Amino acid sequence: MSQVLTDRQMQVLNFVRQYHADNRVMPTRPEIAKAFKRTTQTIAEHLEIMARKGAIELAPAKHRGITVIGD
């Protein structure tokens, strides 16, 4: 990871990791939004920033297209 994540971004990252561990699939943006009581647009913005910071990779054409870097 090239840049430090904010507290909220770390919470989202930890949620994604835990969701994957529990369900064996990555969460969708709506599932993350529901967990954090935020809009899907807000979560999409967090994910885009996290991708730019090198914490995750996003596959835009995939419904569950989040990959955590280093996991």
Return the domain boundaries, the chain. 7-68
Q: Using the predicted structure, report yes or no on whether residue 23 has a pLDDT greater than 90.
A: yes
pLDDT at 61: 85
- The per-residue pLDDT for range 35-68, each reduced to its tens digit, is 999 999 999 999 999 999 999 999 988 989 999 9
Dist. CA 45–CA 52, nearest whole Å: 11
The closest of 23, 61, 54, 52 to 32, measured between CA atoms, is 23
**CATH domain 7-68 topology:** Arc Repressor Mutant, subunit A (1.10.10)
Angle at 29 between CA 7 and CA 49, to 5 degrees: 45
CA 55 to the chain's CA centroid: 9
Predicted confidence at residue 33, as pLDDT, reads 98
Residue 59 confidence (pLDDT) = 95
pTM: 0.90
- How large is the average pLDDT for residues 9-21? 97
DSSP class of residue 3 equals: S
